[in-house]
Amino acid sequence: MTTLLRVDASIRQDGSVTRGVADTLETEIGPATTLRRDLGTAPLPSDTWPQAVAAAFSPEPDAAQLRARALATEVADELVSADAVVVATPLYNFGVPAAVKAWIDVVITDPRFAPGVPSPVAGRPAFLVVARGGGYGEGTPREGWDHATAYLKRILVDVWGLDLQVIEAELTLAPSTPGMESLIDLARENLDAAHATARDAGRALDTVGAA
């Protein structure tokens, strides 16, 4: 049986593209235990990272530092215990949602993820589900404005060593944004393709888990 860690970052429940595509992927996986970390609706407390860092350098951590360190251990335990990871995040204001950055920072405070330590999750399958409201591809007016995806790949692949597949949906704001009407059909095709890729990814992971 597969243990899946699913990390969601959208502040929306209904109508969230990243949640919807991640649902498609999760549905295709066979029997699994899913650990859920919903950063969109329940972000980590804003002082967790500085307090956890302070605890590591304090000979006698105070109560706040101990709570932060315990939460950091809990968050890192979720990641270490997962056979596969799904991170589903929108592009917010051209960057990574603050709650996702905070989650990454907190994980890295755990000694198992410290710089120079071999990653305890290296080689495990992971899926990054990304949604962008506009178009950011080569030749578009906002080419290069996506400052989130490359950063997340750097962390998930280069730092943590995960075997990552990126599933992307663009133009997600076309149906609701004046001036984007001509892109609605393209947006629907893009979203359909993201769901198809997610289905294939889930089935492939199910096959690996059953092997």
Contact 84, 5 (CB under 8 A): yes
The string of pLDDT tens digits covering residues 1-49 is: 689 999 999 999 999 999 999 999 999 998 889 999 999 999 999 999 9
Domains within the chain, CATH numbers bracketed: 2-210 (3.40.50.360)
Residue with tokens 């305890």: 120
What's the Rg (C-alpha) of the chain?
Answer: 18
The string of pLDDT tens digits covering residues 157-177 is: 999 999 999 999 999 999 999
CA distances in angstroms from 29 to 143, 185, 188, listed in the order given: 34, 29, 24
What average pLDDT does this structure show over 193-202? 96
pLDDT band at 208 (very low <50, low <70, confident <90, very high): low
Query: What is the reported pLDDT for 209?
Result: 54
pTM for the predicted model, two decimal places: 0.94
**Torsion angle, alpha carbons of 151, 152, 156, 158, to 10:** -20
- Residue-averaged pLDDT of the chain: 95
